[in-house]
């Protein structure tokens, strides 16, 4: 990577606005690059890909790349579209999304856990395991949800979902929201009985992030409503 102060790309190639999650300090979580941040004078300097390209995402892709900081970015082209991200030859940070912070990241993992709790409860009830379902329904904290879901884990669909729930709640409790969300999306396959449920759950998660971060609703899946942060 290198930094450049001049604009990159032609007018037809530049100007694609997108979003980018970064680790604390505006550090790229995979490449380790520290991105120049905006100042009163304007956007951050361009980061130009030399050995690798610059990646960012659309609103509907947010759940695939979640991290501690969220930035509005500009990509210079040619900009290519992929199923869960965008790729350009250069990018620069335009603005920090202040509504996305540590509390929002934690709440995201928490929301995924409570949503998975509802699936496990429904499945247990359908298997006539009302007592186990009620125990999960009464949980008030993530730690409580983790331990009680683990106790209900087993081989049936409902008990299997309880196992997914225990893992999701544990990750959320540890502040590992990205892992909690991925685990919940995997549980959605079992809950809905379809491999396509994983992508559908990712869209719901992206809509949740967009709402919490005060961004425009995703192009797809914007019908998803935010799950309650508490049971």
Residue 119 tokens read as: 């699936």
In this structure, the answer to whether residues 86 and 123 fall within a common structural domain is: no
In this structure, the answer to whether residues 116 and 37 fall within a common structural domain is: no
What pLDDT, on the 0 to 100 scale, is given for residue 77? 78
**Per-residue pLDDT tens digits for 46-74:** 998 765 689 999 999 999 999 999 999 99
Three-state secondary structure call for residue 27: strand
Lowest mean pLDDT among 10-14, 81-85, 120-124: 10-14
Q: End of a domain among 67, 96, 125?
A: 96
Pairwise CA distance, residues 129 & 22, whole Å: 43
Helix, strand, coil percent values for the chain (each to nearest 5): 45, 20, 40
pLDDT at residue 6 tops 50: no
Which residue matches tokens 């685990």? Answer: 183
In a domain, 225, yes or no: no
In this structure, the answer to whether residues 7 and 90 fall within a common structural domain is: yes
In a domain, 61, yes or no: yes
Taking phi first (over 0 means left), then psi (-120 to 50 degrees means alpha), and beta for anything else, what does residue 145 get? alpha
First to last CA, the chain: 45
In a domain, 222, yes or no: no
In this structure, the answer to whether residues 23 and 55 fall within a common structural domain is: yes
Give the CA radius of gyration of the chain.
20
Q: What percent of the chain has pLDDT over 90?
A: 81
Higher model confidence: residue 8 or residue 36? Answer: 36
In a domain, 226, yes or no: no
In this structure, the answer to whether residues 146 and 57 fall within a common structural domain is: no
In a domain, 231, yes or no: no
In this structure, the answer to whether residues 112 and 52 fall within a common structural domain is: no
What pLDDT, on the 0 to 100 scale, is given for residue 220? 54
In this structure, the answer to whether residues 56 and 14 fall within a common structural domain is: yes
Mean pLDDT across the chain, nearest whole number? 89
**Per-residue pLDDT tens digits for 157-166:** 999 999 999 9
Q: How confident is the model at residue 2 (pLDDT cuts 50, 70, 90)?
A: very low
Give the Cβ contact number of residue 173 at 10 Å: 19
In a domain, 66, yes or no: yes
In this structure, the answer to whether residues 34 and 124 fall within a common structural domain is: no
Residue span of the structural domain in which 21 resides:
2-96
Higher model confidence: residue 43 or residue 8? Answer: 43
**Omega of the bond leading into 72 within 30 degrees of 0 (cis):** no
Total structural domains within the chain: 2
In a domain, 193, yes or no: yes
In a domain, 220, yes or no: no
In this structure, the answer to whether residues 117 and 50 fall within a common structural domain is: no
**Per-residue pLDDT tens digits for 177-217:** 999 999 999 999 999 999 999 999 999 999 999 999 999 88
Taking phi first (over 0 means left), then psi (-120 to 50 degrees means alpha), and beta for anything else, what does residue 193 get? left
What does pTM read for this prediction? 0.88
What pLDDT, on the 0 to 100 scale, is given for residue 1? 46
In this structure, the answer to whether residues 120 and 78 fall within a common structural domain is: no
In this structure, the answer to whether residues 109 and 188 fall within a common structural domain is: yes
**Cα 5 from chain centre:** 31
Give the Cβ contact number of residue 155 at 10 Å: 7
In this structure, the answer to whether residues 89 and 161 fall within a common structural domain is: no
């Amino acid at each position: 990577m290198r930094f450049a102060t001049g604009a990159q790309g032609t007018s037809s190639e530049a100007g694609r606005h997108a979003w980018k999650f970064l680790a604390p300090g505006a550090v790229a979580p995979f490449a380790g690059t520290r991105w120049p941040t905006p100042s009163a004078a304007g956007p951050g300097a361009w980061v130009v890909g030399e050995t690798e390209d610059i990646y960012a995402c659309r609103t509907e892709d947010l759940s695939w790349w979640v991290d501690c900081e969220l930035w509005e970015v500009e990509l210079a082209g040619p900009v290519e579209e992929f199923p869960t991200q965008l790729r350009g030859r250069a990018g620069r940070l335009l603005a920090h999304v202040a509504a996305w912070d540590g509390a929002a990241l934690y709440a995201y993992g928490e929301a995924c856990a409570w949503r998975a709790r509802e699936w496990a409860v429904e499945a247990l009830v359908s298997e006539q395991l009302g007592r186990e379902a009620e125990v999960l329904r009464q949980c008030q904290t993530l730690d409580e949800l983790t331990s009680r879901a683990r106790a209900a884990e087993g081989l049936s669909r409902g008990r299997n979902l309880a196992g997914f729930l225990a893992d999701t709640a544990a990750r959320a409790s540890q502040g590992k929201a990205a892992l909690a969300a991925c685990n919940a999306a995997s549980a959605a396959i079992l809950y809905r009985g379809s491999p396509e449920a994983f992508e559908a759950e990712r869209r719901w998660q992206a809509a949740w992030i967009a709402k919490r971060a005060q961004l425009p609703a995703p192009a797809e899946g914007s019908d998803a409503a935010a799950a309650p942060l508490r049971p």
